[in-house]
Amino acid sequence: MKNSIESQFDLAIDLIKNSKNIGIASHVSPDGDNIGSILALGNALEKINKKVFILKTDDIPKDFLFLPGISKIIDYEDNMEIDLFITLDTSDEDRLGKNRILLDKIENVVNIDHHISNTNFGDINIVNSNAAATGELVYELIKKIGIIIDKDIASCIYTSISSDTGSFMYDNTTSETHEIAAELIKTGIDKSNININLYQSRSIEKTKLFIKILETLKFHYDNQVGIIKVTQEMLNNSNAKMEDTEGIISFIREISSIEVAILLKEIEEEEIKVSMRSKRYADVAEICANFNGGGHIRAAGCTINEPIATAEHLVLEQMKKVF
């Protein structure tokens, strides 16, 4: 596995060095690992005189607008000349959203990700499910290329890793995670500013939405499963956005009796995004795979094309396999 990934790194570096115009994109519904990774790699490749297009896949949550280079994220246009396309933190082609078309337009595709469910859709696939975040793989790539990681790049990678490890609390955090974080801190990043933006800047609208969501909380299987819901009506009444649900599922998982926390998000009347988090032993990636979803053992998701009440029933039926 190690040797295979090392060879993929080498192939990717050769492609990067021999490419002039590089496009970088990540998945829909962006999170911290997504935004942090694309900005870190984009900023790094500009330092070796590459023309970089950091491509917008979806609306950027306001929590990440503080990151260096955020204004560089732009929509793809047909007149962009791109000879290498790098996808980050994206487990399959469909997760690229509107940028999926680039897989057919661009000859060379490098896929860098840490999801165990990754489909290896790239010509080169740097996929390591043992990495705590895609940001760790981006860090390794930048170092292997020989690019000096400055404070701006380090801030983006730190955000990436902190976001996907729950501020280094989740059990995907390894000794290597902490070693990388230490190196990033040595560059002089403002940890306080990053933490305030990520974890201590909840808006009034988000707070009101949290209260409404908590009112939907139900416990199942001897209080080991907690399920919450957010509907479009709740968003409208709170003047909030779906991105404002970030963090609520972790709050439910923190309840002492809970093993699996579930959040149902009503995108459309019959399009329900399901997020699951587990604490000790439940493999939520396996559960989500029953609905053609995936992710990690302790954090996964899927989409169910049914009304939210039906989706709730279907998910709870699957929980019988665990409890």
pTM of the entire predicted model: 0.89
Read off the pLDDT of each residue in 269-273 and give the average, rounded to a whole number: 97
Summarised one tens digit per residue, pLDDT across range 296-315 is 899 999 999 999 999 999 99
Read off the pLDDT of each residue in 28-53 and give the average, rounded to a whole number: 97
Q: At what angle do helices 32-46 and 151-164 cross, to 10 degrees?
A: 160
Contacts of residue 90, defined as CB under 8 A and 6 or more positions apart, other chains included, come to: 25, 26, 27, 96, 111, 113
Contacts of residue 61, defined as CB under 8 A and 6 or more positions apart, other chains included, come to: 30, 31, 35, 243, 246
Asked whether the predicted pLDDT for residue 1 surpasses 80, the reply is no
Asked whether the predicted pLDDT for residue 172 surpasses 60, the reply is yes
Domain boundaries, the chain: 2-199, 204-321
The confidence score (pLDDT) of residue 294 equals 86
Asked whether the predicted pLDDT for residue 126 surpasses 80, the reply is yes
Summarised one tens digit per residue, pLDDT across range 250-259 is 999 999 999 9
pLDDT-based confidence at residue 3 (cuts at 50, 70, 90): low
Asked whether the predicted pLDDT for residue 2 surpasses 80, the reply is no
Q: What are phi and psi of 143, to 5 degrees?
A: -65, -40
CATH code at 2-199: 3.90.1640.10
Query: Residue with structure tokens 């060879």?
Result: 7
Q: What CATH topology corresponds to 204-321?
A: Diaminopimelate Epimerase; Chain A, domain 1 (3.10.310)
Summarised one tens digit per residue, pLDDT across range 182-220 is 999 999 999 999 999 999 999 999 999 999 999 999 999
Whether the CB-CB separation of 87 and 97 falls below 8 Å is answered with no
Label the pairing between strands 73-74 and 21-25.
unpaired
